[in-house]
C-alpha cells in the first residue's frame, strides 16, 4: 500500500524575497519604482506627499487581510459587484392542468354545502344545552394555581446524538 504525503498549509504563500511573498514584494517594489520616477519629475514637497499616500496604499495591499481574504481580492470582488448586473427574475411555472369555470363553481358549491352556515353555528353556540367538551373546557379555564405538566421527549439528531427537548402539545 503506497502512502502519499498530503500537503498542508496550502493557503500560506511561500516566502520568496526575505520575509515577503512574491505578491507582497511586487506591491512594495512597484510603489517604490513609481516613487523613484516621481522624484525626478515633481517638486520635493509634492513628491513626499504622493510617496506617503502611495506607500500607504502599497503597504495596505501587501499586508492587510480581512476575514482571511487579502485586500486586493476584496477590492476586486467589490468592483465586480458594482459593475455586474444584479437583476434576478423568478418566473413561476404555470400548472399544466386547466380547470374550467363551471368545474371550479361545482367544486366550491360542494365544498360550501358540506360546511354548516354561520348563523346555525352562532345559534347552536348561544342556545345549546350540551356541555362543552373537555378539550375546549381546558382551553377556556385558567389553571388556578396549578402548573401544567411539562413533558420531555428524547429524540435523535441526524448526527446520531441524542437530545432531550420539552414537548409542546397544542391540543
Contact 28, 20 (CB under 8 A): yes
The residue with cell 504525503 is 5
Residues 4 and 128: their CA atoms lie apart, in Å, by: 83
DSSP helix/strand/coil, 170: coil
DSSP E strands, 20-133 = 20-21, 65-66, 69-70
Contact 47, 32 (CB under 8 A): no
Residues 22 and 171: their CA atoms lie apart, in Å, by: 68
pLDDT tens for the chain, 171 residues long, are 678 888 777 777 778 888 888 899 999 999 999 999 999 999 999 999 999 999 999 999 999 999 889 999 999 999 998 998 877 777 777 666 666 666 666 666 666 666 666 667 667 766 766 655 554 555 544 555 555 566 777 878 788 788 877 777 665
Contact 41, 50 (CB under 8 A): no
Q: Which residues contact 168 (CB under 8 A, 6 or more apart)?
A: none
Q: Which domain holds residue 59?
A: 15-83
Domains: count for the chain: 1
The answer to the question of residue 35 being in a domain is yes
Contact 167, 152 (CB under 8 A): yes
The answer to the question of residue 29 being in a domain is yes
Amino acid at each position: 500500500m503506497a502512502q502519499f504525503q498530503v500537503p498542508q498549509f496550502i493557503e500560506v504563500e511561500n516566502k520568496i524575497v526575505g520575509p515577503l511573498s512574491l505578491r507582497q514584494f511586487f506591491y512594495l517594489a512597484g510603489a517604490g519604482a513609481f516613487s523613484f520616477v516621481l522624484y525626478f519629475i515633481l517638486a520635493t514637497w509634492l513628491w513626499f506627499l504622493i510617496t506617503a499616500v502611495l506607500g500607504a496604499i502599497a503597504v495596505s495591499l501587501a499586508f492587510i487581510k480581512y476575514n482571511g481574504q487579502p485586500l486586493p481580492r476584496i477590492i476586486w470582488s467589490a468592483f465586480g459587484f458594482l459593475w455586474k448586473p444584479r437583476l434576478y427574475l423568478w418566473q413561476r411555472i404555470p400548472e399544466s392542468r386547466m380547470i374550467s369555470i363551471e368545474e371550479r363553481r361545482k367544486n366550491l358549491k360542494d365544498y360550501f354545502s358540506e360546511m354548516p352556515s354561520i348563523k346555525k353555528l352562532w345559534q347552536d353556540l348561544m342556545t345549546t344545552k350540551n356541555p362543552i367538551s373537555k378539550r375546549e373546557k381546558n382551553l377556556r379555564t385558567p389553571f388556578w394555581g396549578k402548573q401544567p405538566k411539562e413533558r420531555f421527549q428524547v429524540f435523535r439528531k441526524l448526527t446520531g446524538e441524542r437530545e432531550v427537548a420539552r414537548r409542546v402539545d397544542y391540543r
